Amino acid sequence: MSEIAPKELRIVGFLCNWCSYGGADTAGVSRFRQPTDLRVIRVPCSGRVDPLFIVKSLLNGADGVLVSGCHPRDCHYTDGNFYARRRLEMLKRLLPFLGIDEKRFHYTWISASEGARWQKTVTDFTTQVHKLGPLHSTTEAQIGS
Amino acid sequence: MRVGVFICHCGSNIAGTIDVARVAAEMRKVPGVAFATNYMYTCSEPGQEEIKQAIKREGLNRIVVAACSPRMHELTFRRTIEKAGLNRYFLEMANIREHISWVGLDKEANTNKAIDVVKMAAAKVMQDKPLFSQSFKVNKRVLVIGGGVAGMQSALDCADGGLDVLLVEKSPSVGGMMSRLDKTFPTIDCSICILGPKMVDVAQHDKITLHAYSEIDDIKGYVGNYQIKIRKKATYVDWTKCTGCGLCMEKCPSKNSYDHFNFGVAPTRAINIPFPQAIPKKAKIDPEYCRQFVKGKCGVCAKVCPTGAINYEMQDEIITEDVGAIVVASGYGLMDVAKLPEYGGGRYPDVITGIQYERLLNASGPTEGHILRPSDKTEPKTIVFVSCAGSRDKSCGVPYCSNFCCMYIAKQAILTKDHIPDSQSFVFYMDIRSPGKGYDEFTRRAQEDYGAKYVRGRVSRIYPKGKKMVVMGADTLLGTKVEVEADLVVLANAVTAAPGAAQLAEKLHISYDTFGFYVESHPKLRPVETNTAGVYLAGAAQGPKDIPASVGQGSAAAAKVLALFSKDMLESDPAVAKVNENTCVGCLKCKMTCPFGAVKEKELRGGKIVANVIETVCAGCGVCTSTCPCGAIQLSHFTDNQLLAEVNTLCQK
Ligand SMILES: Cc1cc2nc3c(=O)[nH]c(=O)nc-3n(C[C@H](O)[C@H](O)[C@H](O)COP(=O)(O)OP(=O)(O)OC[C@H]3O[C@@H](n4cnc5c(N)ncnc54)[C@H](O)[C@@H]3O)c2cc1C
Ligand code: SF4
Ligand code: SF4
């Protein structure tokens, strides 16, 4: 954990049950060391991730959000991850309008066998969010008013 | 709301790097949590008993188990709480082992993280609603994909168990790679002699329908109710008329067709029966080489066929079938030796692959069992075997061991000595891997009784010199350079995924690894199951495997299918989407996005159109839920409120 600043930031990870959650499990079974900032929320499919969840997370106190699903064409639900890609691409372009650096959000594909890839993804993304520092932004309530 | 929280030590797996007592103490402070404790092994019988007791004693109505991955034990604990009278969906697991204790060593940071994720699970469990399964009928027919030894074993075991079996094989005959082998290790019994009877059984079993030269076009549905489209590829020969007499093959003037069965060791005819024991024993035309197709005129086979079976106009035929379970046994492929230029793979005729050598050894092969070098058809006296040709070599993209090459090289060295007593075999190897029953003894016999010279070290280069092939390598045990002038070189080329394995996986919605091999549910405890209910794996499709392992798995997969079909009705997973008819505006965006066609229109009494989910068809992905503009269609157990409860717990701390 040397390269990551000692103070933890708040990173939310939405992982699909079949591929990326499995990949994170594989990383665990293989004892691949990772920074601890990210906390996982399990969803059935990356297509279940409503872009609103990400906006809500970032407005309410998260410093970064990672979404990870199955590789294109390898989705347990045929093409849920394609819906995810379309929505999340849109969201990426929208974030700057909310005053949020789009580098705080990342989406990726990791299969259940790719433990090493999960380790690298978490480490890289955590480092990236640490470079940006904590997100002291407007709260949802302020935006609403 | 009375939430009970159980934090598992998992021996030292969790407790070693997480302060479990502190997590429990923190959880006691959470509003709604009535009870929190830590326990040595929560999944053990006394551990589960502890949960049941606590539910009764403390009047708990929601349970959080903080332990390993829910992919491991969610079902275990669902059953536990159900036994104590709770709805099984009143359970959430927090994964503090795979995602925390095993990936970080900092106890303080781990403990903080664990507290967060257990709180998130508690927030979610408080939003859980009771859910109830529906039961639906099972179609007790099984589809087996791939007619190698693993697939045939599976098909026979299922059929003997009374099930109707559809066996779909891509190539013109069943048998797979084993039908090409000469003898098999470690017993050196004739391969086709033990496989042939199985092939005949498959063809004659009244419960098995064989579709050879066919492929899966499309798969829809779910466990118990799959709809399959099978493409019967055009053979240009009417198999109902073909008697397998072979006259067409004899007379076909196109003599230089690539022989897929013999891996191109010798050419074949454009119309051919792949091998004498083929099942079904029927001819097919290879249009790539057939003069009628290439030049537009010939027609010899049509003229000679005594039954008039030839039909140049034949088209692929699509048939649809319904099955309840699927066994995937599509086997493996072999690395193209052109990827090994330093070994002269594909360039020099006297550098061949293990499977080609197997064909040279075989009495029904192109040389009738005489070992003859491809270049000048003379008998080789010095033969070099190169193990790990591409395997265990990251630069070739194959970091893994191909599993059976060490053994088949030993076998081939033994057989070589039997065929040519004055020959000398050399084996270049990295390690000898022979852990199976009787295997080590076998590789020793090759050396001690058959005089094969084993040289430990990789071969660096193979090049021609006159009529010989020079093999340059090192003996890493002696620390010297080794050069052998060989008459024939046999490369044990790496085992790869079967061609088209990834595309098949995508149709089946099962996962495959970076190399294209299929991924099992659990590498140790669920080795023949996939993460898609009703789809099982057998044989080398999952990774390189020898015959005993492939056959064992074929039977294991069949046993799983028989167990699945022992019930007439299956329970559906109730974690599916539900429409709130009051808030649905009938835009049917959900219907358009649902990958499974699970959403249908429904007209309410007043004429209002709303969406309606067919529960048994819905796979529970939730794509609809994030599509609906009014939040009217919600995926049960993963509703917006539940996921936001987790988000809020984490963010607003
Ligand atoms: C040179 C050599 C020597 C060997 N010697 C031995 C030995 O002595 N002893 C031993 O135990 N093992 C030996 N093996 C290993 C042995 O070949 C395998 O263990 C065995 O063939 C695995 O059987 P399988 O059914 O899983 O796969 P396969 O034999 O590969 O069969 C798979 C079948 O599925 C079909 N198929 C593929 N894709 C599809 C699809 N999409 N749709 C429909 N059908 C499809 C294929 O056409 C094939 O018929 C040897 C291997 C080699 C290369
Ligand atoms: S998307 Fe929502 S509102 Fe539109 S039909 Fe489906 S459930 Fe109804
Ligand atoms: S959750 Fe929705 S999109 Fe997914 S299968 Fe069910 S109805 Fe279709």
Q: Stretch B29-37: mean pLDDT, rounded?
A: 97
Are the beta carbons of B638 and A27 separated by less than 8 Å? Answer: no
Q: Which of residues 473-532 of B touch A (CB under 8 A)?
A: 502, 505-506, 509, 511-514, 519, 531-532
pLDDT tens digit sequence for B249-278: 999 999 999 999 999 999 999 999 999 999
The pLDDT confidence band at residue A4, using thresholds 50, 70 and 90, is low
pLDDT exceeds cutoff 70 at B21? yes
CB–CB of B584/B613 below 8 Å?
Answer: no
- Interface-testing mutation among A4, A15, A20, A50, with chain B (most B C-beta atoms within 10 A): A50
**Can you list the positions of beta strands (E) in B236-374?**
271-272, 284-285, 317-323, 325-328, 332-334, 351-353
Tell me whether strands B351-353 and B488-493 are parallel, antiparallel or unpaired.
parallel
Percent of chain B with pLDDT over 70: 100
- Interface-testing mutation among B91, B511, B522, B596, with chain A (most A C-beta atoms within 10 A): B511
What's the pLDDT score for residue A1?
Answer: 43
Q: Stretch B619-645: mean pLDDT, rounded?
A: 96
Residues of B in contact with A72 (CB under 8 A): none
Which burial class, exposed, middle or buried, applies to A6 when counting CB atoms under 10 A from its CB (0-12, 13-18, 19+)? exposed
| B259: number of Cβ within 10 Å | 19
Query: Tokens 């007619």 identify what position?
Result: B147
pLDDT exceeds cutoff 80 at A136? no
Atom of ligand 3 nearest to the CA of B613: 7
Tell me whether strands A11-16 and B284-285 are parallel, antiparallel or unpaired.
unpaired
Alpha-carbon span B501 to B513, nearest angstrom: 11
Alpha-carbon span B360 to B467, nearest angstrom: 20
Q: How far is the CA of A50 from the centre of ligand 3 (A)?
A: 14
Average pLDDT over chain A, rounded to an integer:
89
Alpha-carbon span A6 to A2, nearest angstrom: 8
CB–CB of B144/B165 below 8 Å?
Answer: yes
B597-618 as b/e: b if 16+ CB within 10 A: ebbeeeeeeeeeebbbbebbbb
User: Is the ipTM, as predicted for this complex, more than 0.85?
Assistant: yes
pLDDT tens digit sequence for A6-27: 688 999 999 999 999 999 999 9
Ligand 2 pocket check for B633: Cβ under 6 Å: yes
| Residue B64: alpha-carbon gap to chain centroid | 34
What's the pLDDT score for residue A141?
Answer: 53
Ligand 1 pocket check for B373: Cβ under 6 Å: no
| B355: number of Cβ within 10 Å | 18
pLDDT tens digit sequence for B562-609: 999 999 999 888 999 999 999 999 999 999 999 888 999 999 999 999
Please list the residues that pair with B610 across neighbouring strands. B602
Query: Measured between CA atoms, how close is A111 to chain B, in angstroms?
Result: 8
Alpha-carbon span A111 to B251, nearest angstrom: 52
For A53, which of B95, B596, B643 is closest by C-beta distance? B643
Q: Does B408 touch chain A (CB under 8 A)?
A: no
Query: Measured between CA atoms, how close is B71 to chain A, in angstroms?
Result: 8
What's the pLDDT score for residue B653?
Answer: 60
Tell me which H or E stretch contains B649.
helix B640-651
Residues of B in contact with A12 (CB under 8 A): 647, 650-651
pLDDT exceeds cutoff 60 at B316? yes
SS3 B613: strand
Q: How far is the CA of B540 from the centre of ligand 1 (A)?
A: 7
| B434: number of Cβ within 10 Å | 18
CB–CB of B99/B71 below 8 Å?
Answer: no
Are the beta carbons of A78 and B509 separated by less than 8 Å? Answer: yes
Are the beta carbons of B509 and A87 separated by less than 8 Å? Answer: no
Locate the chain B residue with the closest alpha carbon to A84. B623
Tell me which H or E stretch contains B136.
strand B135-137
Q: Stretch B122-138: mean pLDDT, rounded?
A: 95
Token output for A89: 């691409």
SS3 B570: strand
What's the pLDDT score for residue A52?
Answer: 94
Q: Estimate the crossing angle of helix B45-58 against helix B70-83, to 10 degrees.
A: 50
With vertex at residue B259, the alpha carbon angle to CA B256 and CA B264, rounded to the nearest 5 degrees, is 90
Residues of B in contact with A47 (CB under 8 A): 621-623, 626
What's the pLDDT score for residue A2?
Answer: 45
For A45, which of B519, B532, B622 is closest by C-beta distance? B622
Ligand 2 pocket check for B632: Cβ under 6 Å: yes
CB–CB of B616/B222 below 8 Å?
Answer: yes
pLDDT tens digit sequence for B393-426: 999 999 999 999 999 999 999 999 999 999 999 9
Ligand 1 pocket check for B358: Cβ under 6 Å: yes
Ligand found nearest the CA of A48: 3
What's the pLDDT score for residue A142?
Answer: 54
Pocket test for ligand 2, best of B578, B589, B602, B603 (most atoms within 8 A of CB): B589
Q: Stretch B76-102: mean pLDDT, rounded?
A: 97
Are the beta carbons of A12 and B627 separated by less than 8 Å? Answer: no
pLDDT tens digit sequence for B450-499: 999 999 999 999 999 999 999 999 999 999 999 999 999 999 999 999 99
Q: With the C-alpha atoms ordered B23, B26, B31, B33, is the resulting torsion angle positive or negative?
A: positive
Locate the chain A residue with the closest alpha carbon to B114. A39
Alpha-carbon span B652 to B143, nearest angstrom: 51
Please list the residues that pair with B145 across neighbouring strands. B168, B328
- B616 φ, ψ (degrees, to nearest 5): -75, -20
Cα end-to-end distance, chain B, whole Å: 21
What's the pLDDT score for residue B227?
Answer: 95
Alpha-carbon span B490 to B352, nearest angstrom: 5
Average pLDDT over chain B, rounded to an integer:
95
Atom of ligand 2 nearest to the CA of B611: 5
Ligand found nearest the CA of B334: 1
The pLDDT confidence band at residue A145, using thresholds 50, 70 and 90, is very low
Q: Does B593 touch chain A (CB under 8 A)?
A: yes
Question: Which amino acid residue places its CA nearest to atom 5 of ligand 3?
Answer: B618
Residues of B in contact with A34 (CB under 8 A): 103-104
Tell me which H or E stretch contains B221.
strand B214-222
CA distances from residue A127 to A1, A55, A63, A91, B563 in whole angstroms, order as listed: 10, 21, 12, 22, 49
What single-letter amino acid sits at B468?
Answer: K
For A36, which of B106, B532, B635 is closest by C-beta distance? B106
What's the pLDDT score for residue B3?
Answer: 98
Name the residue among B155, B148, B120, B131 with its Cα closest to residue B26.
B120
What's the pLDDT score for residue B595?
Answer: 87
Specify the range with the lowest mean pLDDT, choosing from B158-167, B342-351, B535-544: B342-351
Query: Measured between CA atoms, how close is B417 to chain A, in angstroms?
Result: 43
For A41, which of B627, B635, B643 is closest by C-beta distance? B643
The pLDDT confidence band at residue A143, using thresholds 50, 70 and 90, is low
Percent of chain B with pLDDT over 90: 93
Q: With the C-alpha atoms ordered A26, A28, A32, A33, is the resulting torsion angle positive or negative?
A: positive
Q: Estimate the crossing angle of helix B149-160 against helix B191-204, to 10 degrees.
A: 40
Q: What share of chain A is helix, strand, coil (3-state, %, to 5)?
A: 45, 15, 35
Are the beta carbons of A44 and B110 separated by less than 8 Å? Answer: no
- Interface-testing mutation among A8, A16, A36, with chain B (most B C-beta atoms within 10 A): A36
What's the pLDDT score for residue B524?
Answer: 85
Name the residue among B404, B420, B388, B378 with its Cα closest to residue B149.
B404
What single-letter amino acid sits at B431?
Answer: D
Length of chain A: 145
Question: Which amino acid residue places its CA nearest to atom 1 of ligand 1?
Answer: B355
Query: Tokens 């923190």 identify what position?
Result: B26
Residues of A in contact with B594 (CB under 8 A): none
Alpha-carbon span B615 to B448, nearest angstrom: 65
Q: Stretch B525-539: mean pLDDT, rounded?
A: 93
Residues of A in contact with B114 (CB under 8 A): none
Are the beta carbons of B99 and A19 separated by less than 8 Å? Answer: no
Residues of B in contact with A40 (CB under 8 A): 95, 99, 117
What's the pLDDT score for residue A117?
Answer: 97
For A60, which of B512, B621, B651 is closest by C-beta distance? B651
pLDDT tens digit sequence for A29-82: 999 999 999 999 999 999 999 999 999 999 999 999 999 999 987 888 888 999
Alpha-carbon span B531 to B533, nearest angstrom: 6
Pocket test for ligand 3, best of B220, B592, B599 (most atoms within 8 A of CB): B599
| Ligand 3 site residues, Cβ closer than 6 angstroms | B 576-577, 594, 596, 598-599, 613, 618-624, 635
**Can you list the positions of beta strands (E) in B284-411?**
284-285, 317-323, 325-328, 332-334, 351-353, 382-389
Residues of B in contact with A76 (CB under 8 A): 509, 511, 531-532, 621
Q: Stretch B113-122: mean pLDDT, rounded?
A: 97
